[in-house]
Structure 1
Amino acid sequence: MTESGAGSGTREPLEGLPVPELDAVLGQAVPFDRDRWLPLLPDASWWPGELDGCPRVGRRPRVDRRTVFSVAARAGTVEADRHLLVAALVWGTGTKARGVRRRGRVFAGTPVAEIDARLGAALAALRERGPVEAYRAFNNEHGIAQLGPAFFTKVLYFAGGGAGAGPYAPLILDGVVSRALKRLGAVDGKWPEAGWRTDRYRQYLDLVHGLARQRSVRPDQVEAALFHHGGRAS
């Protein structure tokens, strides 16, 4: 696969990948513990109220993609952008205390005003110039300490609402998806496990959107299929 994009031959390794139904993707739910998150936030106003309405399954409430999309639909103000950031982090983390503490470093490592400015700038880039430029913003001049690509692409994905400016909708790229791409031979041997450059993200979007068009599915259905494949034991 080239740095600039995917050719017809590079999509062949993914042609047999089972793709889940859209309802299953949007219903992908993750348990969370509100009490572990609140002490890590700058203050309680950062907590999105939608999460308090999530259904409980066993001991814990669970937040699904639909709920985070509903939070993201309010984005555009400082408070709503904060809620999007927190909801995306909660959905992507789960209940393990160690993981929650690691994600909480986002709020400890950067002053609140700077988080607001950098988050707002990256989301503006998404709306105005599309996900590749938003990725570039988060990955460079508007980066937030402790918020790497695996999580800022979650923010971009939900902010995009399943669509995006230009030819691409933003998609999640994390270590599990990356592992699937390598296992399936869809990327070259130099593809990293983390810290992807902007041109790599563009390459990923081109690959996944191309397969989605072939299958007549949404790109996030392909992303979910890759995540499932990457999470399986090899």
Structure 2
Amino acid sequence: MHLPENASEYDAGVVNGGLRDDELEWFRRQRRDLEAERGGDSHDAEDLVGRHAVNVVPARWWQRDLSLPFDEEAFSVTSLSRDDVTAEARRCRESGNWLPLLVVSFAWGWGSRGFGPTRLSWVMRGGWRSPRLGRDEIERRLGAAIDVLDREGAPSAYDLLLTGGRIPALGPAFFTKFLYFASRSQEVRCPAPILDARLASAMRCFWTRRSDEPYAVGGRPARWLWQGPRWSTYRYRVYRAFLGRAAAQLSEAGERWTPDLVELLLFRGGPCEVN
């Protein structure tokens, strides 16, 4: 999870400079709070991440022609964890069919409220300025992205879904969730972190907090660097490098951290909360 070779001085300065003491303390406090919610005992990073769950209404996401872990008559709210979605990713890897993971990761990303099912229908069937690709073509493009993910890594897979292999109405906020869970199903993990508006806002806070540093002079304002919703492949690589650097720095005290634990804690509440 390295910086791009052409990283700007501003981006390199933030990533290589690492977290400040108050930020390190913020992350550790957030981890303790999360562990307290899980019963008060110390948990390893994978357990904390894997048990992170959202509420969904399964019937809202049921698809007639797909084999999904959702019941068409289940209208009660139920919990869907990262481990649950990863299990679906493993089933998709075994079958070679990736549409079910797209649906389940979409459901996990939206939760029980909002117009998520409608947005998914735009992806699957077209609508609201989105052309209809057809399920076979969507499946082909998802499969191609997984092939690139496995062979070349997350940034290349991101670039494919952003550009030449783009699926209309499926932007980075949701295709990174798809890639993330697919990457969790690999035997050898190649981190493909989630990047959405909330996480980009957290990054903007880190960059803004360092805007007076010498390396930031002459650089573009942080609000522009992290403006979405279609972050460039370069920006995704910078983000990925930041998470990797933060996880490594936090692990120096002896407690294991992973990039997706850093991502999870940032999603719960970002560095702008640091006093």
The two structures have a TM-score, normalised by structure 1, of 0.83
The answer on 1:46 being equivalent to 2:60 is no
Partner of 2:228: 193
The answer on 1:128 being equivalent to 2:145 is no
Identical residues among aligned pairs (%): 31
Q: Distance in 1 between matches of 2:54 and 2:79?
A: 5
SS at match of 2:194: coil
Q: Distance in 2 between matches of 1:171 and 1:102?
A: 22
Unpaired runs of 5+ in structure 2?
32-42, 127-132, 211-221, 252-256
Distance 1:77 1:152, change over 3 A: same
Partner of 1:142: 165
Q: Distance in 2 between matches of 1:118 and 1:183?
A: 34
Distance 1:17 1:157, change over 3 A: farther
Residue in structure 2 matching 1:209, options 241, 244, 269: 244
Contact in 1 for aligned 2:146/2:179 (Cα 8 Å): yes
SS at match of 2:80: strand
Partner of 2:254: none
Q: Deviations over 1:51-75 (max 9, x none)?
A: 55xxx9x941111000011111123
Q: Distance in 2 between matches of 1:231 and 1:212?
A: 15
Query: Aligned pairs, how many?
Result: 224
Q: Distance in 1 between matches of 2:95 and 2:145?
A: 13
Q: Provide the alpha-carbon RMSD of the alignment.
A: 3.1
Partner of 1:15: 24
Unpaired runs of 5+ in structure 1?
none
Q: Distance in 1 between matches of 2:119 and 2:140?
A: 22
Runs of 4+ in 1 over 4 A off after TM superposition: 162-166, 230-234
Q: Deviations over 1:126-163 (max 9, x none)?
A: 00100000000000111111110000000111001177
Contact in 1 for aligned 2:205/2:272 (Cα 8 Å): no
Q: Distance in 2 between matches of 1:148 and 1:206?
A: 21
Q: Deviations over 1:3-43 (max 9, x none)?
A: 625342254485344253532321111121222223xx4xx
Contact in 1 for aligned 2:58/2:77 (Cα 8 Å): no
Letter in 1 for 2:101: L
The two structures have a TM-score, normalised by structure 2, of 0.71
Partner of 2:109: 92
> Larger radius of gyration, structure 1 or 2?
2
Partner of 1:6: 12
Q: Distance in 2 between matches of 1:225 and 1:212?
A: 11
**1:175 CA drift (Å):** 0.5
Partner of 1:225: 265
Distance 1:90 1:233, change over 3 A: farther
Q: Distance in 2 between matches of 1:201 and 1:106?
A: 22
Letter in 2 for 1:126: L
Distance 1:232 1:36, change over 3 A: farther
SS at match of 2:193: coil
The answer on 1:179 being equivalent to 2:179 is no
